[in-house]
Chain A
């Protein structure tokens, strides 16, 4: 950190000592009140001894550590926020100024109706609008699910979230975007404005209750002791009060919440509410899209099968013809596979010059209308020709041979298939692979077996989820058998195969009916209802505006497997909050046994209670030092979160109960004794 930042941080933490700022935090507020009372007491009685001044300063330092933790967490979060905003601003809109030539970059949400913007090739249209100039191919797949780009020109409407696959457009804004999630980032860490998450509110309530009890207790003690005929030093009584108040959690409470959000941001996930982050920790099942989350989204060929005694080389040749013009990843990987497995291509120029039919959601096949330029070395252009019996079934009146590759169900409908077709397709699906059927002419002649590539690391992530008793559900458009096999490979039990977008919504709804908390990932407009319904909806930044609007979290890196990180961060926030709260309350036992005997040291009948055997003044100061010092010691834990390994909630709780619950009862005895001994060696009160 720079010096300037450090100074700003210190100044901020001091500024926050103002009661007008602290009143929201019952524990720190009452600690500050104690400071004021002790200060007045010292001034009135003129006890300016080291002991009283120490009490006074230690109480003040306790509060200051609290405001420091707050400020630190907020500073760090703000730095992360600035970084995030800079990332999201990469996607600025180009607004055309009135001169119709010059353009400025502007945030999409700052656009107003009738502004003109320029969108270039490869960019995403940021708002709904009407084309005023230009024509371009527009990929609306994210919006409509239709993957064939449509050509649009002047006066046609375009939808936000579509991507230009060619040229450029000038668009008049029809519907400006609403204030987006990005602008909400800053609001999430402003202490006073920050919406409190449910567990934060609940813990805050318990802090109020404990503060109330301790306040009543010390007032009662003061009155009772006086009534019983003994006297009590108000400064020590207030020191006792400050030690009893759960100052540790009171001081770190706010920081834990803010840094939790910041940790989410650091992993480039913007969450729109604290509630969503907590729900993430509470997830019971999570819908995982197969493609992108479990598999890398690429299918690799692993083998060639041929039918009816057709030579494998023939199938390979057909596959080569069908794929050479295919620019998709799948087409390229088939070519690569064929070349690697020793296939030597011929007639390359014929294939390249042949017409190519691209894959579309409607036809669900792609291929080449093969028009050989030569055949067996002879120029066959423009001639009718007969093809060998083995690879054809007759005479073509024109010289184009359709060579296709596609999904089994589609290919079966269009081409002739051999008898054993269904069985072979099923066998491949059973192995968890996908059959890509190859046709030549009117015949299906073979199959390329494709395998989904599992993302590295996914298996262990799924294992972690299951260890935490979270049920992963795989969603895919694949054939059920294929889907089940992939699921088996990564150890997922529940699969929704051949899923349509509404299936996700139905599943979310059904699980919520059972009272479960559901997380899911989505990017398309189709996913929006499910994203909105799910307790944790993570939208991809590259997805549509509708999806991002509906979801309560957006991943700037558009990596669907982030959902698992999101769950872990959510849990970590809850664990940190719960453990530090338990620790703080458990600490009280020791503090009681240290200060109570010190406070009542004038009553000899209670001398035996002093189990640490420290002199009264040393006890009070040692306890106050411990009480204050434990706050900065725990700041790193509060800000970074308590580390945990994936395990069932019962195991995690038992471990943390041992460390923070029982540890919290024992640690202060030891620490205060040590502080006490050190004090006795050096300081005389």
Chain B
């Protein structure tokens, strides 16, 4: 709904886009220094700790990632069960779901965080996981970039430590202070105060958004005015969610010595986001926090859904059906820009499939980033593409059997809520309609498993594709399809549209589109 304030709105969105593009570029320069420069701080730390800091194979890289994740999950789990508010208890299924949810960057919450865990649990278990989760997928994306530029995978510990210490930590610290200055609460000694408890929010907010976690202190996320008090905090949160996923495209371009190679992927990603955003603008939100207003809420919500952060800034029930349909597409494409690392790999998977078709159409064998593609990459990319639709459809079929009676879907809105739950889990988005209502043992296990498969199998495919690239020789041919042009961006969008529509349309038709 473009109202009288439309000029201001256009200005806001303009500033937002410019900020996102510029900041992601500067961030990429910094990341380039950290990962591909002469930085060896993390390397030294690893040596002191006597941890393997050598070049890894994809297998070691993946296993290290699994081991770190598992280790962190065990510790966080032990902290969580000991930091419940008195009188609360947590079922094994909920614990499993919560841990799976937070380590996979999903942050689907079948509980009301602020009423369940003490500030200690929030800070040392949930927030701890929110630091590790983005660092793992970020590392895989870095490994991917390293494989196509320098023909190696790298060292997982080194990549993770570098991203945590050199990138997430300093940026989050600065942002925390800014949030505090802007009026976001920060306390460590909170107790359960109704109706709105407070806790370590300023310190959580940066990593929650930068890392596309979305695991908020409040069940309603940034719809709670304490977490998002004004337009400025709204803008910072929105920008935070986009800069990391987008910076990876720049980082790819910088290391390929051809920034356009990344720029036009970024453009494809941002264009899808903008088209969706503009379409979503035309329908007003029914429920929204008045603190920041209709328009800004929509920026934050769209950003959060399309970056698979899943941080809510308005209750999903306040969204109109057709906006819901667009948001479901946004979750499912998972590349506009998608969450940190995963979104990047998703774009690469789509790019490889697109390049396959358009190369043939131009009379050439497929070639991407100067590498000849053969059946191995095509196979891995097809599987990576196939993974999420499979999880979603199988997940929904299973959900029909396990959903509690009160949640059993009906055509339209009920079914929308069900598919939202499953797609959100599969794509590690984390937003949901159910909230505490979803806390049933079967649904906890089902979504937990979907989250883990959707995350780790996907990253595994990403690493396997990267591994194939490390074995290849760069090609200096000039007779190839260029992937650093606007034409490629538009073709990529077209193919993504085709692939996503043909897999998703039946669900949309039975869900949000049936209630239109």
Contacts and interface: CB of A to CB of B under 8 A. Distances in A.
Contacts of A85: none
A538 to B, nearest CB: 18
A225 B361 contact: no
Which residue, of A217, A279, A283, A571, has the highest number of chain B Cβ atoms within 10 A?
A: A217
B396 A650 contact: no
Contacts of A491: none
Interface in B459-486: 473-482, 485
B363 A469 contact: no
A515 B476 contact: yes
Interface stretch (B187-195, B305-313, B447-455, B508-516): B508-516
Interface in A596-623: 596, 600, 603, 605-606, 608-609
A64 interface: no
A674 to B, nearest CB: 23
B477 A650 contact: no
Given A202-B378, A515-B372, A592 B362 contact: no
Given A198-B365, A216-B393, A244 B502 contact: yes
A650 B360 contact: no
Contacts of A665: 498
A649 B514 contact: no
Contact of A582 (B361, B386, B514, B515): B361
B294 to A, nearest CB: 27
Given A213-B503, A228-B409, A281 B363 contact: yes
A653 to B, nearest CB: 4
Contacts of B474: 515
Contacts of B363: 281, 468, 570-572, 574-575, 644, 649, 652
B320 to A, nearest CB: 15
Contacts of B359: 574, 578, 649, 653
Interface stretch (B74-82, B126-134, B410-418): B410-418
A94 to B, nearest CB: 45
A517 interface: yes
Contacts of A213: 386, 389-390, 502-503
A217 B475 contact: no
Contacts of B372: 515
B505 A649 contact: no
Give the bracket for the number of chain A residues in contact with chain B: 35 or more
Nearest to A596: B509
Given A199-B365, A224-B510, A216 B360 contact: no
A216 B394 contact: yes
Interface in B323-359: 353, 356-359
Contacts of A516: 475-477
Interface in A626-680: 644, 648-650, 652-654, 656-657, 660-662, 665
Contact of A198 (B362, B374, B412, B509): B374
Given A198-B375, A206-B356, A228-B410, A515 B370 contact: yes
B365 A574 contact: yes
Interface stretch (A182-190, A266-274, A367-375, A583-591): A583-591
Contact of B362 (A205, A223, A606, A653): A653
Contacts of B362: 574-575, 578, 649-650, 652-653, 656
B452 to A, nearest CB: 20
Given A217-B393, A227-B400, A653 B358 contact: yes
A205 to B, nearest CB: 6
B370 A605 contact: no
A589 B498 contact: yes
Nearest to B490: A657
Contacts of A662: 494
Contacts of A650: 362, 481-482, 485, 487
A278 B374 CA distance: 13
Contacts of A223: 397, 400
Given A199-B365, A571-B363, A653-B362, A608 B393 contact: no
A502 to B, nearest CB: 23
A514 B475 contact: yes
Contacts of B365: 198-199, 278-279, 281-282, 574
A212 B502 CA distance: 13
A600 B477 contact: no
A577 interface: yes
Given A198-B374, A225-B510, A609-B513, A657 B361 contact: yes
A278 to B, nearest CB: 6
B366 interface: yes
Nearest to B409: A228
B491 interface: yes
A221 B478 contact: no
A284 interface: yes
A484 B481 CA distance: 31
Contacts of B476: 514-516
A606 B506 CA distance: 11
A221 B506 contact: yes
Contacts of B506: 217, 220-221, 596
A34 interface: no
B360 A578 contact: yes
Contact of A220 (B370, B383, B396): B396
Interface string B367-400: 0001010110011001101100110011011001
B514 A653 contact: no
A91 interface: no
A279 B239 CA distance: 46
Given A516-B475, A650-B485, A661-B494, A585 B502 contact: yes
A266 to B, nearest CB: 19
Which residue, of B356, B365, B372, has the highest number of chain A Cβ atoms within 10 A?
A: B365
Contacts of B509: 596, 600, 606, 609
Interface in A45-60: none
A230 interface: yes
A581 interface: yes
A410 interface: no
Contacts of A577: 360
Contacts of A656: 361-362
A644 B168 CA distance: 52
A657 B394 contact: no
B364 interface: yes
Interface string B148-180: 000000000000000000000000000000000
Contacts of B515: 605
A608 B353 CA distance: 33
A202 B375 contact: yes
Nearest to A281: B363
A578 B357 contact: yes
B358 A592 contact: no
A287 to B, nearest CB: 15
Contact of B357 (A201, A570, A581): A581
Given A216-B389, A582-B361, A585-B502, A284 B514 contact: no
Contact of A649 (B382, B396, B481): B481
B386 A596 contact: no
B480 A649 contact: yes
A205 B375 contact: yes
A470 B479 contact: yes
B19 interface: no
Interface of B: 353, 356-366, 370, 372, 374-375, 378-379, 382-383, 385-386, 389-390, 393-394, 396-397, 400, 409-412, 415, 473-482, 485, 487, 491, 494, 498, 501-503, 505-506, 509-510, 513-516
10 residue pairs, one from A and one from B, having the closest CB atoms: A578-B360, A571-B363, A515-B475, A469-B479, A653-B362, A578-B361, A649-B362, A284-B477, A656-B361, A514-B476
Given A229-B410, A649-B363, 16 more contacts: A202-B378, A209-B382, A225-B510, A468-B479, A515-B477, A570-B363, A575-B363, A578-B357, A586-B498, A600-B509, A605-B516, A649-B359, A649-B481, A657-B358, A661-B491, A665-B498
12 contacts: A212-B386, A213-B390, A514-B477, A572-B363, A574-B363, A589-B498, A592-B501, A606-B513, A650-B362, A653-B358, A653-B362, A654-B487
